[in-house]
Chains A and B, each alone.
Chain A
Amino acid sequence: MTKLRIVLYVAWLIVPGSLLAQTDPGVRGGAINGQAGATATGPLPLASVSGGQPQGVLQFFENGLARFQEVETVGNSANVGLGPRFNMNQCSACHAQPAVGGSGAATNPQFAAIANGIVDGSTNSMPSFITAHGPTREARFPFFTNSSGTPITSSPNGGVETIFTVSGLAGAAGCTLAQPAFALAIANNNIIYRIPTPVFGAGLVENLDDSTLLANQAAQAGNTFGIAGTFNHSGNDGTIARFGWKAQNKSLLMFAGEAYNVEMGITNELFPNERPLPGEDLAAGLAAGCLNLAGVGYPEDATNFEVTPSSNQATQNAQVPGDIVMFAEFMRLSMPPLPATSSGPGGASAFTAGQSLFKTIGCAACHTPTINSTQASAVTASLSKAAVNAFSDFEIHDMGTGLADNVAQGSAGGNQFRTAPLWGAGQRIFFLHDGRTTNLLTAIRAHASSGSEANDVIENFNELTAAQQQDILDFLRSL
C-alpha cells in the first residue's frame, strides 16, 4: 500500500465517525432574530408597535432604540454622567449580538476601550478576563477580602466590581480611582463573571401575571426528572421577579435603571446616587473629586422637562422621559426572536425531531417552550393575551457545583439561576451566565454537576444517539 493510499484509508476510517459525532452547528445565519427586515442596528418592534397601535408608540420604540445606542461621556456632551466607574459607555456595546438589544458580540468592545479612548490607558489596565474575542463581561467578587486581599468566605460580597474608572479622562481631572484588584481576585479564585442577557421580547415576559407562572410551575410538579424550582420575588411588592441571571429584577424599568447605574455609572431616577464599589461605602464612599463630574447635578439622567418642539407630537413626547424609561420602552416594545422552523440547521425535519426530543428528555420541564398567555396590556395590542415562546419557566433552579457562582441575589442562592430563555439561542455566541463557552453541546453538558436539578435530564441526553443529540443542537440553533 502506498503512502497516499494509507493516508486515504485512515481518512476513510476517521471521517464517517466524525460525521456521526454531534456538533454545535454554530451561530445561525440568515435573517437577524429570524425577522425579515431586521438589521444589526435596527431590531424590529412588535407588530402592533409597527402598526402604530396606539398612536405614537412607534416613536417611543424608535427613541428608546436610539438612546440605547447613545455614547455616554463623563461630561461636556449631549449624553453625560459616565462613571466614575463603568463597564462600558453604551448599552448597545454590550447588548449587540445579533442586533442591538442582544447579548455579547464576537468582538468584545471592552477590549478596545483603551485603544478607542473610552478609557485612559495610563490609569487603567485591561484585566485578563477581557479579551479581544472573548465574552463581554462584568465581574463580581463573591467574597469580601481582608486587607491583604485574601477572601473571607464568611463575608459574602457579590456586587459588581466595575472594570474601568474615569480617571485620566477629560472632565475627570480631580478623580483618582484605582481599578479593583482583579489579578489578585483571579489568583484567589474570588471572581465570577456575567454576560449580558438579551432583551428582545422582554415586554411579553414582563406582562406575565404571577398566576400564569405559578400555574405553569404547578403543571410541572409531577415531572419524573427530579426538577422542582422556585421563584425569586421582588423585595418591594412581593411579586415574582423575572429579569437577570437570577431573576433578581422585577421590571424592565428596574432592569434598565440598575444597569445604567451599575454598568455605566449613570445615576437616574431609580438609582439617584453614585455607586461606590462594594465595601467602599463602608468607609468614606466616593471622594468628592469623583462626584458630580458631569456638573449637571443628580440624577444625571432624569425627566426632560424642556424638550425641543417638534411638528410631530409623538416624537416630542418621546423626548420627555429620562433614558431609563426609554430603554425600558425599547425592551418592552421589541419583537421576540422568531425560530427558523424550516431554514435552520438540519432543516424542518431536524427542527421537528429536535423539538420533540427536547421535550421528551425533560429540557422542557424548565425551558417551557410556551407560556400561555400574557395578561391584557395597556401598552400595545401585541402584548395582550399573547403566547410567550421564551423557553423558560422563569423559575430559579439549583444548578449544582459546576455552575454555582456563590453570588446571592434576592432569594436566589449561590447555586441557583433563572432558567435562561432560549428564544434567540440560535444566533447567540456565548453561553451560560459567565460566557464560558461558545459551544452549545458544552453548555448542555455543563448543566450536570453535583447538586444540579438537571442531572437526570442530562443523563437522558446522554442516552440519545449522536444523531438524536444533533437534532437537539440543530433545533436549538433554529431558535
Chain B
Amino acid sequence: MSGAASGARVPEHTILVKGAWPSASDSGTPLPEDGRWAGGSYQNDYFGLTLRFSARWQAGLEGPPPSDSGAYTLAQIVPAERFRAGKAGHLLITAQDIFFTATRANSPLELVNFTSEHLDRSVYRVEEAPRQTLLGQRPFVRFGYQSAVAAMHWTILATEIRCHIIEFVFVSTRPQSMADLLQSMDSITLPAAAPEHDGTDGAAQPLCIRDYASAEHLLERVEPVLTEPHLNSIPVRIIIDAQGEIRHIHLLRAFADQARAITDALRQWRFKPYVMDGRPVEVETGIVFGLRARAPASSGS
C-alpha cells in the first residue's frame, strides 16, 4: 500500500492496492526480480547474469511479481520498434526457485522434462529432446519443440544458479530469427563456479541449501504471529551470515501484515554457523509460512 496521496487524482495505470506482494528486509541486497535492461543488455545482479543484445532488440513489458510457487518472469526481450513488423520472435527469461516449486523438479533437466511430459501433443511436436549441453563453462539443458499450426518454434536453454532454474525461452516463427536470438547467448556472462543444489555459485554468493532452517541448524526460532487468515502460501528466502544471524529476508509474496510479522520473527532466529573447508560461510535457504503448499505434482525426472 502506498502512502497517503491526499489532494491528488488517483494515478492512472498504477497498482496501489496490492495483495500479496514481494518485499525485502533491506534495499541493498540484490533480489531475483530486480534485473534491469540498460544499454542493450539485460543484467541481473542476484544471479550474476548479463546478456547483451544487438540493436534489433529491446526490453518488452515488465513481468508480474514472483508467484507464491517461486516462479519469476525476469525479462521479456522483443524486437526493437522498427523491427516489430518482421515478426522476429522474442525471448522470455524466467526463474523457478527450487525451494518452492510446484513441480518437484530439482534440476534444470527435471524441470525441462516436466515441461516436455506435460506438452499438449495435440498441438506441439518435440524437435529436440531434452539434452545436456555446455554454454561457456556452464552446463545447460536444451530442449526444442514446435507447433505446426502456428509455424512457431520454441527453444529452451535452462541452467541452475543459486538454487533457481533459469530458463531462456526463445520463440520464433522463422529459423533465421531463432538463430539470431540464440546467438545472443554467446554474450552471456554467468557466475564462474559450477552450479550445484547445495553448492556455491561464485565466491561471492552464499551457499544455497534446501530446508536448512531445521532444528538441526537452528539455535533459536521464534514463530511469527500471523493474525489475519489470508489463506496464502508465503515463500521466504533468507541469507544467514557466517555468524548464524539472518542478514537478509526476501518475501516472495506476502501481505503487508504478514511481511511485518515474519520479518520481526526471523530477526530473532539464530543458526549454528555453517562451516565449509574449515571456515564459516553464508547460507541461503527457503522457508514457507502460512498456508502450506499443496502436494507437488509428480516429478518430471
Give A contacts to B, CB under 8 Å.
Answer: 142-143, 146, 150-156, 158, 187-190, 214-215, 217-226, 228-230, 233, 235, 238, 353, 356-357, 359-361, 364, 397-398, 400-402, 404, 406-408, 411-416, 448-453, 455-456, 459-460, 462-464, 468
Q: With A222-B115, A360-B150, A456-B76 given, is the CB distance from A412 to B19 under 8 Å?
A: yes
- Residues from chain B with a CB closer than 8 A to the CB of A455 are 60-61, 63, 73, 76
Contacts of A356 in B (CB 8 A): 122-123, 147, 149-150
- B1 nearest CB neighbor, chain A only: A154
| Chain B hits for A222, CB < 8 A | 103, 105, 111, 114-115, 118, 300
A451-B64, A456-B76, A459-B171 known; 4 other A-B pairs, CB under 8 Å? A142-B10, A152-B5, A411-B20, A413-B19
Bound-state CA distance A25–B45 (Å) is: 48
Q: Are A153 and B16 in contact (CB under 8 A)?
A: yes
Query: Nearest A residue to B73 by beta-carbon distance?
Result: A226
Contact with A along B240-272 (1 / 0, CB 8 A): 000000000000000000000000000000000
Closest chain-A Cβ to B229's Cβ sits at a distance in Å of 7
B18 within 8 Å of A by Cβ?
A: yes
- In the bound complex, residues from chain A placing their C-beta under 8 Å from that of B150 are 356-357, 360-361, 460, 463-464, 468
B41 to chain A, nearest CB (A): 20
A142 adjacent to B17 (CB under 8 Å): yes
Asked whether B181 is an interface residue with its Cβ less than 8 Å from the other chain, the reply is: no
Instruction: Compute how far the CA of A89 lies from the CA of B54 in the bound complex, rounded to whole angstroms.
Output: 61
Residues of chain A within 8 A of B147, CB atoms compared: 356, 360
Q: How large is the interface on B (under 10, 10 to 19, 20 to 34, 35 or more residues)?
A: 35 or more
The answer to whether B297 touches A154, judged by C-beta atoms less than 8 angstroms apart, is no
In whole angstroms, what is the CA distance A422 to B63 when docked? 24
A156 to B: closest C-beta gap in Å: 5
CB atoms of A406 and B73 under 8 A apart:
no
- Evaluate contact between A408 and B17: CB separation under 8 angstroms: yes
Query: Is B6 in contact with A217, judged by CB distance below 8 angstroms?
Result: no
Interface centre among B13, B61, B63 (most CB of A within 10 A): B61
CB-defined contacts of A233 to chain B, threshold 8 Å: 231-232, 291
- Distance (whole angstroms) from the CB of A424 to the closest CB of chain B: 23
In the complex, the answer to whether A406 meets B114 with C-beta atoms within 8 Å is no
B86-94, B191-199, B276-284 - interface stretch: B86-94
Q: Which of A146, A215, A364, A451 has the most CB of B within 10 A?
A: A451
CB pairs A–B below 8 angstroms (21 shown): A142-B10, A151-B6, A154-B1, A155-B4, A188-B9, A189-B10, A218-B296, A218-B297, A221-B71, A221-B114, A222-B105, A224-B167, A233-B291, A356-B147, A360-B123, A401-B15, A414-B19, A416-B19, A452-B64, A459-B60, A459-B78
Q: B100: shortest Cβ distance to chain A, in Å?
A: 10
B68 interface contact, C-beta 8 A? yes
Q: CA A400 – CA B118 in complex, angstroms?
A: 27
Give the Cβ gap from A369 to chain B, nearest Cβ, in Å: 10
Name the residue in A153, A401, A406, A415 with the highest tally of chain B Cβ atoms < 10 Å from its Cβ. A153
Determine whether the beta carbon of A359 is less than 8 Å from that of B15.
Answer: no
What's the Cα separation between A153 and B16 when bound, in Å? Answer: 7
- Interface flags for B29-71 (1: CB within 8 Å of A; 0: not) read 0000000000000000000000000000000111111011101
Query: Which of A224, A361, A406, A451 meets B62, CB within 8 Å?
Result: A451
**Is residue B152 contacting chain A, with contact meaning CB distance below 8 A?**
yes
Q: Which of B16, B154, B229 has the most CB of A within 10 A?
A: B16
Q: Is there an interface contact between A451 and B63, defined as CB atoms closer than 8 Å?
A: yes
Q: Which residues of A contact B274 (CB under 8 A)?
A: none
Shortest Cβ distance from A146 into chain B, in angstroms?
6
B85 CB → nearest A CB, Å = 10
Beta-carbon contacts of B127-163 to A below 8 Å, as 1s and 0s? 0000000000000000000010110101010000000
Residues of B within 8 A of A (CB): 1-21, 60-65, 67-69, 71, 73, 76, 78, 87, 89-90, 92, 94, 101-103, 105, 111, 114-115, 118, 120, 122-124, 147, 149-150, 152, 154, 156, 167, 169, 171-173, 229-233, 291, 294, 296-297, 300
Known: A226-B92, A402-B13, A463-B171. A152 touches B6 (CB 8 A): yes
A413 and B17 contacting across the interface, CB-CB below 8 Å: yes
Main secondary structure of the interface of B (DSSP, over half): loop
Interface centre among A215, A230, A452, A463 (most CB of B within 10 A): A463
Q: Are A452 and B61 in contact, CB atoms less than 8 angstroms apart?
A: yes
Verify A414–B16 contact, CB threshold 8 A.
yes
Which of A158, A215, A219 counts the most B-chain CB atoms under 10 A from its CB? A219
- With A359-B122, A361-B152, A414-B15 in contact, do A217 and B61 touch (Cβ < 8 Å)? no
Chain B residues with Cβ under 8 A from A190's Cβ? Answer: 9-10
**A153-B18 contact in complex given A218-B297, A230-B67, C-beta closer than 8 Å:** no
Contact (Cβ within 8 A) B115 A223: yes
Residues of A within 8 A of B5 (CB): 151-154
Q: Bound state CA distance, A143 and B17, in angstroms?
A: 9
Residues of A within 8 A of B61 (CB): 400, 448-452, 455
> Is the beta-carbon distance between B6 and A146 smaller than 8 angstroms?
yes
Q: Which residues of chain B are within 8 angstroms of A214 by Cβ–Cβ distance?
A: 294
Q: Which residue of B lies closest to A456 (CB)?
A: B92
Contact of A217 among B18, B102, B231 (CB under 8 A): B102
- Rounded to whole Å, the gap between the CB of A174 and the closest CB of chain B is 36
Contact status A406-B10, CB under 8 Å: yes
Chain A residue at minimal CB-CB distance from B112 = A222
Residue of B6, B76, B149, B169 near A224 (CB, 8 A) is B169
Which residue of B has the minimal Cβ distance to A399?
B64
Assembly CA distance A404 to B12 (angstroms): 10
Tell me which residues across on chain A come within 8 A of B8, comparing CB atoms. 150-151
A460 to B78, CA, bound (A): 11
Please report the C-alpha to C-alpha distance between residue A408 and residue B256 in the assembled complex, in whole angstroms. 13
Known: A222-B300, A226-B63, A228-B69. A406 touches B101 (CB 8 A): no
Considering the complex, give the chain A residue whose CB is closest to the CB of B90. A459
User: Please, how many angstroms separate the alpha-carbon atoms of A146 and B124 in the complex?
Assistant: 56
Chain A residues whose CB sits within 8 angstroms of the CB of B296 once the complex forms: 218
The chain A residue sitting closest to B296, CB to CB, is A218
Which residues of the partner chain B approach A217 to less than 8 Å between Cβ atoms?
Answer: 102, 294
Check A408 against B16 for contact (C-beta < 8 Å).
no
Q: Are A411 and B19 in contact (CB under 8 A)?
A: yes
Name the B residues within 8 Å of A448 (CB-CB).
61
Inter-chain contacts of A451 with B (CB < 8 A): 15, 61-65
State A397–B67 Cα separation when bound (angstroms). Answer: 9
Say yes or no: A460 contacts B152, CB within 8 Å: yes
The answer on a CB contact under 8 Å between B10 and A151 is yes
Instruction: Give the distance in Å from the alpha carbon of A450 to the alpha carbon of B124 in the complex.
Output: 29
Instruction: Report the bound CA distance from A225 to B147 in whole Å.
Output: 15
- Chain B residues contacting A401 (CB-CB under 8 Å) are 13-15
Min C-beta distance of B162 to chain A, whole Å? 19
**Which residues on the A side are within 8 Å of B102 (C-beta)?**
217-218, 221
- For B63, list chain A residues within 8 Å (CB): 226, 451-453, 455
Contact A414 B17 (CB under 8 A): yes
Kindly list chain A residues whose C-beta atoms are within 8 Å of the C-beta of B89. Answer: 463
